[in-house]
Structure 1
Amino acid sequence: MSETLRVAVIGAGRWAQRAHIPGWQRDPRVDVVALADTDPDVLAQAGRDFQVARLVTDYRELLDDPDIDVIDVATANHAHFDISAAALDAGKHVLCEKPVHHDYRQTRALSERAQAKGLKTKLGFTFRYAPAVQYAKSLIDAGFVGEPYIFNGYEQNSQWIDPGTPMRQVDPDADPSVITTSSIEGYGAPIIDMMHWFSGGELRSVVGTMRNFVPERMIRATGQMQRLNIDDGDMWIGEFDNGVLASIQSSYVTVGNFPGIEARIYGSEGAIIVRLVEEFGVCQTIRTATKDEVEFVEREIPQEFFPTGGHSREDWDFLFYSNLCADFATEILSGGPANQGDFGQGALVQETINAFERSFRTRAWVDLPLNAPAADGAVAA
């Protein structure tokens, strides 16, 4: 591999244009050499805006190209697994938006396939790479909180509090009488990732519930209101093997701004609150307290946790994804074993979501790891 990482982005829509493509292009070690999208108009516009010359409507044309090192999967969720599997089989490192698959076992299988081939993977856990979160983790590792006791995690914003805001219909054949996962999987995954990362132990048992607060919503494809029995709010409790108690709250009908993440960890020596909410021009803050000085005070985030020239008044998606892309580039180009937020971590987060769903269905505590058999491709619930 050369000293320049050559990346092809599959899926050139809104999120790719706000985060993936500019995040990669911010790094001087990276060259975005190709874009793929099934919509030729979207593809052409992205190519013009980001000055990428190679544009294809079939991503398979890119897999056998020896000049491409990384496939970045930024498509709709249903295509994540197949494209990631094909890219790994073609010998490419893979960045994929979450989830790779709704069944954690399928994601774990891809993680094992990548490791067997000596390839690196990474999930789109955007908020893990926020400078404030990276700084918080460094404080935890340095012993600032002491023995961790409690983790509280929130992912909440008001994106769909208005039923007239168009939403993509996840499954047109879904039984409207059965609530299906939505917020906890699409929005809860990043804070679940942080819960595991900050808590420092193995999750052993969970219990919780889901709710559908806004029954009828506007469907983007039809422009009509329709009954969607989806999880738009949920709350969970988890027990870790090191004694940590954790809670998770996820919703996109809670009043507040993007991205709506807040992580709190309390321990024997101190506490940390990280808030990733774009308010008054600032996209992140970190506050700390100790057992001797219990009033929380805001800390300045050291520049080492930002990309070159970065600051907290940038758009959060561009800032955080720049760090994600730079971290993946460093992991690949260094050739070392480091690979944070990989498909293995993605499988753990998905297993937690599958356990949450099972708890809701059974109205009972659910133990991890999950081992119950299920049909191929089915959610273990």
Structure 2
Amino acid sequence: MDKVRVAVVGAGRWAQRAHLPGWSRDPRVEVVALVDSDRQVLGEAARLFGVRRTAGDYREVLDDPSIDVVDVVTANTAHFEVSAAAIEAGKHVLCEKPVHRDYRETKALADAARAKGLLTKLGFTFRYAPAVRYAKSLVDAGFIGTPYVFNGFEQNSQWIDPATPMRQVDPDADPEVIATSSIEGYGAPIIDIMHWWAGARLTSVVGTMRNFLPERVVRATGRSQRLNIDDGDMWICEFDTDIIASIQSSYVTVGNLPGIEARLYGSEGALIVRLVEEAGRCQTIRTATKDDPEFVEREIPAEFFPPGGSSTEDWDSLFYANLCADFTTEILAGGGTNQGDFAQGALVQETINAFEASFRRRAWVDFPLGGAA
């Protein structure tokens, strides 16, 4: 294989801001088909990105042997269905998170793909930020030493105004029971980074969720109603080494998008990565050592950027270009390397499920949820 041929299922806003620009940036990739049930959105995206073949149903592209990858950018409720069908059809799959709200279903798909020799990847966009990749290289090189403490923040004020329309999570949900929202929709990327950087096995979690704005405008109706969701939460995590971690996610903490900050402190040094649009840049990394504890900003080496990339461009297309390039390299290499895959997605979703269980029980919850790892 010398070229990867991709069918993108879902042609809406995120496909046009991240996925399609990411694939289009790589000369080793050709987007050969675009699928969406909304014919107007489909036509606009096809014209914008020069995709000739379009379809209204994803099943129309699964039997095409020339398609190597199915990229799932649909509504969350269709992620599992489309991914499962694509794997069954023998396609590599990139899927936006979550694959499924039950980690066991995501793990089942990971196992199915592995049994067929297929690669999978989750839309953990921030894992592929040049600053995050550079930080991981420093951790691997021993800059941190023995890791002690991880702090992760996924926060912004995107929905601090209750008049800002929001998609209703579940129309049939019990309004008296708070539902996971921020921790699942926005917390997953920082949980992914926590696991990746910690390099240890999670053993127990505890935390809480809060709903600060009871009524919000629902996007589908344009009317304000009770949405009992977690728009703020906080968690503590223990691992099988001495490292401990905290995670916070929120829709109502004032700050710029995308609002990721990851901190790692160790025996030799510390680092702070901010993925926040500030002063015309979308990312920064600062480091300190035990001998020189004042944090200083580091320049991110060019090797961690996609060709022509810089910290002054839009974060979504920049980070996703790295994600798409990484998946393309893994597929073309034909080996066993597959970072950020469905198995990692299952681990992140199981962590979220454990967080929710801790809140419901008002107690520490052992991890993994299914028993011994």
TM-score range normalised by the length of the shorter chain: over 0.9
Once the two structures are TM-superposed, the CA of residue 9 in structure 1 deviates from its matched residue by 0.4
Once the two structures are TM-superposed, the CA of residue 55 in structure 1 deviates from its matched residue by 0.8
Query: CA-to-partner distance for each residue in 1:89-141, whole Å, 9 max, x for gaps?
Result: 00000000000000000000000000000000000000000000000000000
Q: How does 1:300-319 map to 2 (within 5 A)?
A: 300-319=299-318
Q: How does 1:238-253 map to 2 (within 5 A)?
A: 238-253=237-252
Question: Does the residue aligned with 2:85 lie in a helix, a strand or coil?
Answer: helix
Distance in 1, Cα, partners of 2:279 & 2:166: 27
Once the two structures are TM-superposed, the CA of residue 205 in structure 1 deviates from its matched residue by 0.2
Q: Which residue pairs with 1:184 in the alignment?
A: 183
Once the two structures are TM-superposed, the CA of residue 280 in structure 1 deviates from its matched residue by 1.9
Q: Which residue pairs with 1:56 in the alignment?
A: 55
Q: How does 1:126-145 map to 2 (within 5 A)?
A: 126-145=125-144
Question: Does the residue aligned with 2:33 lie in a helix, a strand or coil?
Answer: strand
Q: Which amino acid aligns with 1:279?
A: E
Q: How does 1:175-324 map to 2 (within 5 A)?
A: 175-324=174-323
* Gap regions ≥5 residues in structure 1: 373-381
Query: CA-to-partner distance for each residue in 1:162-217, whole Å, 9 max, x for gaps?
Result: 00000111110001000000000000000000000011100000000000001100
Q: How does 1:57-96 map to 2 (within 5 A)?
A: 57-96=56-95
Q: Which residue pairs with 2:2 in the alignment?
A: 3
Q: CA RMSD in A?
A: 0.6
* Gap regions ≥5 residues in structure 2: none
Q: Runs of 4 or more off by more than 4 Å in structure 1?
A: none
Once the two structures are TM-superposed, the CA of residue 281 in structure 1 deviates from its matched residue by 1.1
Question: Does the residue aligned with 1:17 lie in a helix, a strand or coil?
Answer: helix
Q: Which residue pairs with 1:332 in the alignment?
A: 331
Q: Which amino acid aligns with 2:128?
A: Y
Query: CA-to-partner distance for each residue in 1:238-281, whole Å, 9 max, x for gaps?
Result: 00101110000000111011110000000000001000001121
Q: Which residue pairs with 2:42 in the alignment?
A: 43
Distance in 2, Cα, partners of 1:59 & 1:223: 30
Query: CA-to-partner distance for each residue in 1:136-172, whole Å, 9 max, x for gaps?
Result: 0000000000000000000001110000000111110
Distance in 2, Cα, partners of 1:6 & 1:285: 34
Distance in 1, Cα, partners of 2:53 & 2:257: 33
TM-score after normalising by structure 1? 0.97
Q: Which amino acid aligns with 1:109?
A: A
TM-score after normalising by structure 2? 0.99
Once the two structures are TM-superposed, the CA of residue 336 in structure 1 deviates from its matched residue by 1.2
Q: Percent identity, aligned pairs only?
A: 77
- How many residues align? The count is 371
Once the two structures are TM-superposed, the CA of residue 371 in structure 1 deviates from its matched residue by 1.8
